């Protein structure tokens, strides 16, 4: 991410959220996975608003990755609250990390989803 874009992201998402997101991206890269910020946070970033809805798409096993994040979080981000045990939803390839207190303003959870292809018979 370029310095200019990081500055834009810090303004919109807040530096307290950018640091964990960059850490998550680095952990994914270490494992050869691609990770993307998706959903409401992207909308909020584009609008210049703060976001409490943090969704991360993983090209790979999002459930396994969320488990790794929960283990590595206290090591990589020791000054932030630790997540509780991840809750997984295997049918959908998703997992949620919750926190008993905010680790960034308004943010108490992270949702991870495995990238998947869906085809529908008609327009949604």
Angle 22-46-65 from CA coordinates, rounded to 5° = 30
- Look at residues 72, 75, 76 and name the one whose alpha carbon lies nearest to residue 86: 72
- Look at residues 51, 55, 67 and name the one whose alpha carbon lies nearest to residue 17: 51
Q: How far apart are CA 113 and CA 53, in angstroms?
A: 13
Query: For the residues of 3-72, what is the DSSP string, one character each?
Result: HHHHHHHHHHH-HHHHHHHHHHHHHHHHTT-EEEEETHHHHHHHHT---S--EEEEES-HHHHHHHHHHH
Spell out the per-residue pLDDT of the chain, length 124, in tens: 445 555 666 777 788 898 999 999 999 999 999 999 999 888 888 887 777 889 999 999 999 999 999 999 999 999 999 999 899 999 999 999 999 999 998 999 999 999 988 788 888 6
- Position 4 scores a pLDDT of 52
- Position 124 scores a pLDDT of 66
- Position 34 scores a pLDDT of 96
Q: How far apart are CA 110 and CA 58, in angstroms?
A: 12
- Position 116 scores a pLDDT of 85
- Position 5 scores a pLDDT of 57
Contact 54, 44 (CB under 8 A): no
- Position 22 scores a pLDDT of 93
């Amino acid at each position: 991410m370029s310095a200019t874009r990081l500055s834009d992201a810090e303004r919109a998402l807040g530096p307290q959220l950018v640091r964990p997101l960059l850490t998550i991206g680095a952990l994914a890269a270490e494992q050869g996975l691609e990770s993307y910020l998706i959903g409401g946070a992207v909308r909020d970033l584009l609008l210049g608003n703060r976001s409490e809805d943090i969704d991360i798409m993983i090209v790979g096993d999002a459930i396994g990755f969320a488990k790794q994040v929960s283990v590595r979080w206290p090591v990589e981000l020791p000054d932030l609250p630790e997540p509780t045990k991840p809750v997984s939803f295997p049918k959908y390839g998703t997992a949620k990390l919750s926190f008993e207190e905010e680790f960034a303003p308004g943010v108490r959870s992270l949702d991870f989803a495995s990238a998947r292809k869906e085809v529908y018979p008609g327009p949604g």
